[in-house]
Amino acid sequence: MPPRICCALLAALAVCPWLGAAEVGTNVKLNSDGTAELHNEEQLAVNPTDPDNVVAVWRDFRLGYRRIGVGVSHDAGASWSDTLLPDSAWPRASDPGICADSAGNFYAHVLSLSNGGGVAGAAISVFKSTDGGDSWADPVDAVTSPFGLLDKQMIACDRSGGPTDGYVHLAWYDVGGGIRTTRSIDGGASFESLRQVSDGGSVQWPVPAVGPEGQVYIGWVDFSESVLKFDRSSDAGRTWGPDGIITPLLITNEPINGGIDVLAYPAMMVDNSTGPRRGTIYVAYIDRREPGGDTDIFLRRSNDEGTSWSQPLRINDDPLDSGADQFHPWLVVDEEGALAVIWLDRRDDPDNLEWNAYLARSFDGGRSWTPNVRISSASSSPAGGQTAAAGLIGEYIGIDSLAGDLYTVWTDTRDGQQDVWFAPAFDLDSDGDGVADTADNCPTVANRRQRDADGDGQGNLCDDDADGDGLSNDLDDDDDNDGLADADDCAPTDPLVAARPPETVGLIADTDGITWIWDEDASGAATEYRLDRGALVALMGGSYDHACLVTGLFDPRASDSELPGPGAGFYYLGLGVNCFGVGSAGAGRPSGPCP
């Protein structure tokens, strides 16, 4: 083949192994009944003893009236079986939810209805499965009402690992009595007498959560005051204190475009990890930034058991006041303390009508969020709503997480009617840097090289004190302690980058004859590479005419399939690059910019 000559080169630092990030998994329809009936109001839970076991529940009209559908997967959502929860003494059911305890038992709760129908229930019933959702015991009525005035119940399983582990907590709205709760301390075999939680007001939509020491928290919406309220029990749900306020609201319950009712319920979870934010309470909710504006998803957090709350932080990252509504949020905090929120989002439709399911994650206690990721592979429209009951498309959707993997479920009308759709997200790479979120030391900012100057596990680009000297970056004149003041340093948090990369050696041709490989820059100054090519005739004449062939390389490796003409040849230079510019090509060998 025509001659090729290798000359001086530069390279980059050695890097940690990185994980290729998987995309959001395939969308799967869970209800297989084949009818055109309505299916919505979904929740799901992952078995903490078996991450391949996922169980979902939803409101299901396949028989022409309200029942509860249940879907079971034993392969992390790749395949599903679905049916209806077993018959009970109550002919109809609605408003389902689910949780899993530490032993892997699933508890599905339903609002049990009489033949008289209506939107309020005569009982709240709990079904238990001890075999991963494949079968369910006869339900236990946790609470009954002779007047059929129960509504909007939610469940929480205590997985604190302490003396209250295994307790099951229910909270609901009693039309005549406000927010109430009960608990089971015997694995769902029985439930204690109800306890009053709310102090008054026009209230609804209670959501319970359990803290790391068995504390129980409940949040709800107060329509009369236009606020989200909160109460806590420090004795595992036995006694309750005065109501507090999580946040004021500009929206509590109203229809948005297409006739979809949205409610500002508090999707609430607690960090029960052993990490630095253990015990932090998080609430995701819908609200407007200003009266008449589009609806957004916000987060507030409390580090003192709900005594005080952070300022609201907007999670959806579409442009402010874009006119696109976001609604129906749900929240999960995994065993490592990472947060994830799912919601329905209209940013993809300029008419603000069709929606998709979206997702965002936070690895710093909700202070920052990854770029939003679309989960659904097809858009949905209210035209597939079929009925105006329960807000047209139901009032909530679901998400759960285990070992960094996310499982999501939502209402979808791509087939012309309301169905239940599911998608997993494994090894999600939210910032697109090629490092999966679960392995990324800075998952919200692209940093493929994972540089961590002070070795604290937090990447330089996300670390408020990059050099670990006790001074925050905004107070430190030399954040990376490289001797170059931040004002003169284009990489102020990276001590390895204080000048252009040096020259290195080792350029060789790979066995295919068209790929060139060179050594990584041992100094660590190079953050990427480029390959230059020149004409051999110029080199033999004592001059250099090489120019940039390819740039932006992560590894010191590039290919060139072009062959020189007869009697001619190419020479190559491998160069290191950082924010200070192109590295040295060696004495007398210029290196110009890439086009």
Strands 67-73 vs 81-84: parallel, antiparallel or unpaired: antiparallel
Domain residue limits, the chain? 4-16+499-582
Cα 161 → chain centroid: 25
Handedness of CA 310, 151, 330, 107 (dihedral sign): positive
Cβ 339 vs Cβ 362: under 8 Å: yes
Cβ 203 vs Cβ 220: under 8 Å: yes
Helix boundaries (H) for 254-367: none
Supply 486's token pair: 């931040």
- Structure pTM? 0.75
Supply 563's token pair: 């062959």
Alpha carbon distance 47, 178 (integer Å) = 32
The residue assigned the tokens 């077993």 is 86
Cβ 332 vs Cβ 401: under 8 Å: yes
Cα three-residue angle 476-477-478, rounded to 5 degrees: 90
The residue assigned the tokens 């006739």 is 259
Cβ 159 vs Cβ 181: under 8 Å: no
Strands 4-6 vs 570-578: parallel, antiparallel or unpaired: parallel
- Point out which residues pair with 261 in neighbouring strands: 255
Q: What is the pLDDT along the chain (595 residues), one digit of tens a residue?
A: 233 443 333 322 222 222 223 368 899 999 999 999 999 999 999 999 999 999 999 999 999 999 999 999 999 999 999 999 999 889 999 999 999 999 999 999 999 988 765 556 789 999 999 999 999 999 999 999 866 689 999 999 999 999 999 999 999 999 888 999 999 999 999 999 999 999 988 999 999 999 999 999 999 999 999 999 999 999 999 999 999 999 999 999 999 999 999 999 999 999 999 999 999 999 999 999 999 899 999 999 999 999 999 999 999 999 999 999 999 999 999 999 999 999 999 999 999 999 999 999 998 999 999 889 999 999 999 876 555 344 689 999 999 999 889 999 999 999 999 999 999 997 667 676 767 676 788 877 777 668 787 888 788 778 878 777 787 777 677 878 888 888 888 888 888 888 888 887 778 887 777 787 887 877 778 888 888 888 888 777 777 888 888 888 777 888 888 888 887 888 888 888 888 888 877 766 777 777 6
Alpha carbon distance 501, 522 (integer Å) = 10
